[in-house]
Amino acid sequence: MKQISTSNAPQPGGHYSQAIVCGGVVYVAGQLASDPQSPDQEPGGAGEQTRRALRNVSAILEAAGSRLDHVLQMTVYVTDIGLWEDVNAAYAEVMGDHKPARAIIPVGELHGPYLVEIQATAALS
């Protein structure tokens, strides 16, 4: 097992790694829409947060030797299922033709002002 850490994504706020690589698979911890260069910046609406969280996932995947188009599965947590349309549109914009398996799960609330958190599993390049 190999722990992955990059300054191009938010540093973990608890006892976990940004990602773990094991057996040719990258397991990315849930990512919020925090900007690692400007962590105090307001995260915006659901669409903007989805794009930012996916940029964080992408940065971690790159540090691990993978890419967004190698994602096998994503789990998207949202604070309200009513955000589904905005989240889905931003997700499709970023992911393009690549359509990994995915679940969107409504949760009560996330840390601070965040509306979206994205967790991913990807193959190494």
pLDDT score at 37 = 87
33/77 Cα distance (integer angstroms) = 12
CATH number at residue 75: 3.30.1330.40
What does the pLDDT average to over 101-113? 94
Tell me how many domains the chain contains.
1
Structure tokens at 7: 């300054």
Share in percent of the chain as helix, strand, coil (round to 5): 30, 30, 40
Q: How far is CA 58 from the centre of its chain?
A: 8
- The model's pLDDT over 29-81, given as tens digits with 9 standing for 90+, comes to 999 999 988 877 888 999 999 999 999 999 999 999 999 999 999 999 999 99
Q: How far is CA 11 from CA 17, 24, 38, 97, in A?
A: 8, 23, 12, 30
Q: Is the pLDDT of residue 125 over 90?
A: no
Task: Supply the range of the domain harboring residue 48.
Answer: 2-123
* Tokens at 5, concatenated: 């850490």
Distance CA 27, CA 34 (A): 19
- Residue 86 pLDDT: 98
14 token code pair? 């608890």
The whole-chain average pLDDT of the chain stands at: 96
